[in-house]
């Protein structure tokens, strides 16, 4: 009579021990699988602007392409000059934006050891939008235009258009007004006679009666792509993470070009734009038209715009600035 309870207790303890062993075996196997035995490498990516040209990055994060490629990406938005300083200090790993700031730094007396590893060119259009009283670019002489800041990229765009039309830029006043939304407000208020803005901000102003007087881009003058810039040593120390990052971007680019509704949702989420027409314009502006190489022609146009905004000739070679070894590896593996 007394043996039966003991037998039950013994069998219960045996079952518990087997369960514990099974748990630890399963845990060991689970933690030993790829992706769990160690954390994914992390990259901190600083974006120099907030605009629809970020669609590939937003898509990669939203759909999970970065994670699938094996890298954790943290996006940080900051001003252009701060991004370059952060890259120099190692506080970010990559900066993404127009070539103006990195090329300006590379043309300085003591240039940092930065290189461009890839480029994403969008269908972006940049318009000089003016007060409706202005009928020609020539009439801007003696007037004020808004720029984000002195020697900025948009400053160079406006100088290029003035030069095309024979306008002496010394007879035009440039006022620092900040980002595009602030420049739009300056044009609307009449504080300035115009400014350079992208396609969807231009449409916003056009709908309010302002004049789209001239576009920067021409068939023989392509708009510079946004480029990815890293410290050259990162090509060795962070090569795996950078390659995974570019792989995720390539997959995301295919997705955002083929899934319009996803792109529209991401634009609305990140840019807080109103009206279907304006959001559609932002989509057209953000569509990728060339990637992932930073071509020599694109580099030359970027350098020309930089020279205009700086008011001097810079001595930079394409070979010094560009390193396509990572995208070449991806291409050889069939990833393009």
Centre a 10 Å sphere on the Cβ of residue 11 and count the other Cβ atoms it contains.
Answer: 10
Domain residues for the domain of 274 are 42-123+223-332
Q: How far apart are CA 332 and CA 123, in angstroms?
A: 27
Taking residues 311-324, report their average pLDDT.
90
Q: Is residue 12 part of a domain?
A: no
Sheet holding 173-176: strands in order across?
A: 173-176, 144-147, 194-198, 126-130, 211-215
The answer to the question of residue 35 being in a domain is no
Measure the CA–CA gap between 85 and 228, rounded to whole angstroms.
Answer: 15
Do 83 and 156 belong to one domain? no
pLDDT tens, position by position, 136-170:
999 999 999 999 988 888 898 999 999 999 999 99
Q: Residues 148, 88: one domain?
A: no
More confident residue, 54 or 27: 54
Whether residue 227 is found in the same domain as residue 119? yes
Domain match, 51 and 67 both: yes
d(CA 42, CA 200): 33
Structure tokens belonging to residue 24: 């630890």
Give the CATH number for residue 137: 3.40.190.10
In a domain, 314, yes or no: yes
Residues 235 and 312 in one domain: yes
The answer to whether residue 24 is domain-embedded is no
Structure tokens at 88: 């120099």
Tell me the pTM.
0.80
Instruction: Indicate whether 273 and 161 sit together in one domain.
Output: no
With respect to residue 4, please indicate whether it lies within any of the assigned structural domains: no
Q: Is the omega angle on the peptide bond into residue 306 within 30 degrees of 0, that is, cis? A: no
Check whether residue 239 and residue 323 sit in a common domain.
Answer: yes
| 322: in domain | yes
Residue 7 covered by a domain: no
Average pLDDT over residues 47-75: 93
Q: Which of 215, 245, 268 is the last residue of a domain?
A: 215
pLDDT at 20: 40
135 and 210 belong to one structural domain: yes
Domain count for the chain, please give it: 2
Using the 3D structure, point to which of 215, 237, 272 is the last residue of a domain.
215
pLDDT above 70 coverage of the chain, percent: 88
Instruction: Give me the phi and psi of 119, to 5 degrees please.
Output: -145, 140
| Cα 329 from Cα 317, distance rounded (Å) | 23
Q: Which of 271, 248, 282, 324 is nearest to 56 (CA)?
A: 248
- Per residue in 216-229, is it b (16+ CB within 10 Å) or e — as a string? beeeeebbbbbbbb
pLDDT band at 229 (very low <50, low <70, confident <90, very high): very high
- From 324, 323, 322, 313, select the one nearest 107 (Cα to Cα): 313
Q: Which helix (H) or strand (E) holds 77?
A: strand 72-77
pLDDT for residue 38: 54
Last residue of a domain, one of 215, 243, 276: 215
Let me know whether 157 and 182 are in one domain.
Answer: yes
Whether residue 283 sits in one domain with residue 231? yes
Backbone angles phi, psi at 70, to 5 degrees: 100, 30
The answer to whether residue 9 sits within a structural domain is: no
**Is residue 198 located within the same domain as residue 231?**
no
Q: Are residues 100 and 228 in the same domain?
A: yes
- Could you give the CA distance from residue 276 to residue 38 in angstroms, rounded to a whole number? 44
> pLDDT by residue (tens digit) across 9-36?
334 434 434 444 444 434 443 434 444 3
């Amino acid at each position: 009579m007394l043996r039966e309870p003991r037998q039950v207790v013994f069998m219960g303890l045996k079952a518990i021990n087997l369960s514990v062993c099974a748990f630890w075996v399963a845990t060991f196997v689970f933690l030993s699988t790829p992706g769990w035995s160690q954390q994914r490498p992390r990259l901190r990516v600083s974006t120099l602007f907030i605009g629809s040209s970020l669609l590939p990055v937003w898509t990669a994060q939203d759909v999970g392409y970065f994670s699938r490629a094996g890298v954790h990406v943290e996006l940080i938005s900051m001003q252009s000059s701060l991004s370059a300083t952060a890259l120099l200090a190692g506080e970010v790993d990559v900066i993404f934006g127009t070539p103006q700031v990195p090329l300006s730094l590379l043309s300085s007396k003591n240039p940092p050891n930065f290189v461009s590893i890839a480029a994403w060119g969008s269908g972006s259009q940049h318009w000089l939008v003016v007060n409706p009283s202005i009928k020609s670019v020539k009439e801007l002489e003696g007037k004020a235009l808004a720029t984000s800041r002195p020697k900025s990229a948009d400053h160079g765009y406006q100088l290029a258009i003035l030069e095309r039309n024979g306008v002496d830029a010394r007879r035009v006043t440039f006022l620092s007004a900040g980002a595009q939304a602030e420049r739009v407000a300056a044009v609307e208020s009449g504080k300035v006679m115009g400014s350079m803005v992208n396609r969807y901000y231009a449409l916003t102003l056009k709908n309010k009666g302002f004049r789209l007087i001239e576009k920067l881009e021409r068939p023989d003058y392509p708009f510079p792509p946004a480029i990815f810039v890293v410290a050259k040593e990162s090509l060795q120390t962070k090569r795996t993470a950078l390659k995974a990052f570019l792989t995720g971007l390539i997959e995301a680019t295919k997705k955002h070009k083929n899934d319009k509704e996803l792109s529209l949702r991401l634009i609305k989420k990140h840019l807080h734009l109103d009206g279907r027409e304006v959001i559609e314009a932002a989509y057209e502006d953000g569509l990728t038209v060339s990637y992932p190489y930073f071509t020599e022609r694109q580099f030359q146009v970027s350098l020309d715009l930089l020279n205009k905004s700086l008011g001097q000739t810079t001595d930079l070679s394409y070979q010094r600035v560009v390193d396509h070894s990572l995208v070449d590896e991806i291409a050889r593996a069939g990833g393009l």
